[in-house]
Amino acid sequence: MGAGPMRHRLTFGALLAAAFLLPSPGRADGLAQVRIYTDDDPPYVMVGPDGQVMGGTTVEKVTRVMRRLGLPFGVMQAAPWARAYQEAKTRPYAMVFPIARTRERQKYLDFTFKILDADVYFYRLAARSDIQPHTLDEARRYRVCVVLNDYRHEYLQGEGFTRLELSPDSTLNVKKLAAGRCDLLPSTEPGIAGKLKALGLERTLVARGIRLDMLDSGLYAAFNKDTPPDVIARVKAAAAAVEVP
């Protein structure tokens, strides 16, 4: 990536951090214990070389809620997805985003507010015209790149997919697809387009296949279920007040 885009990302990050230095309503004691976890997932979340969250389409919406509540930007931490999800599963006051809702996850998490909707499709290399599954049954024969413990991992595993290639993050999966190390990649259109751009690759490198129409692909911010109800209620109210989504 050239110096120009990096300067833009750093400038956005600096402005974002500065915004949280402005006067804001005081926090209740419960809100002071909130910790927010996310992972590097362009264009939804962008993390700089120093590991700090720099921006992204979902970050912008979540920070509006944080600002409404008077939460400092420092409560947001970037981590590999598996760790971010584990923190939210096991720690009261922990929130994770962006995350899709599944039956399994609802055992541990309160899906506090929706951030956006996006359909999920299978993508393949455009040059691989021999890989064109029309059903999930046909797709099972191929190697599929997924992020460990991601909702697409959980969904495809539940649908009997056994040739799943696991990675710690979604950008690495796009690299693997580009290198021919897997055959199919489940992704949203904004997700794969953003990652290809970040990697300096053309969108035309990949072709879109079937939509995973039985998969709930809405993206949410979700709290550990043992978080006090009044904290969750305040966050829900703040999200409604800033019109998320």
State pLDDT tens for residues 10-38.
Answer: 444 444 444 444 434 444 468 999 999 99
pTM of the model: 0.72
- Inter-CA distances, 80 with 39, 48, 170, 214, Å: 6, 14, 10, 27
Alpha carbon distance 69, 74 (integer Å): 14
170-178 vs 189-198: helix crossing angle, rounded to 10: 70
**Whole-angstrom Cα distance, residue 216 to residue 229?**
25
pLDDT at 244: 57
In angstroms, what CA-CA distances link 240 with 7, 70, 113, 166, 232?
Answer: 33, 16, 8, 36, 12
Number of domains in the chain: 2
**Same structural domain for residues 171 and 223?**
no
Q: What is the mean pLDDT of the chain?
A: 89
Considering the domain architecture, whether residues 136 and 230 belong to the same structural domain is answered as: no
20: domain CATH number is 3.40.190.10
- Same-domain status, 64 and 160: no
Asked whether residue 22 falls in the same domain as residue 112, the answer is: yes
Question: Are residues 173 and 229 both part of a single domain?
Answer: no
Q: Is the pLDDT of residue 1 over 60?
A: no
Per-residue model confidence (pLDDT) at position 110:
99
- Burial of residue 52 (CB within 10 Å: 0-12, 13-18, 19+) is middle
Radius of gyration of the chain (CA): 18
Q: Reduced to 3 states, what is the DSSP secondary structure of residue 22?
A: coil
Q: pLDDT tens for residues 117-171? A: 889 999 999 999 999 999 999 999 999 999 998 899 999 999 999 999 999 989 9
Q: Are residues 173 and 110 in the same domain?
A: no
User: Which residue segment(s) compose the domain that 75 sits in?
Assistant: 3-117+218-241
pLDDT in tens, 170-211: 999 999 999 999 999 999 999 999 999 999 999 999 999 999
Contact 96, 88 (CB under 8 A): yes
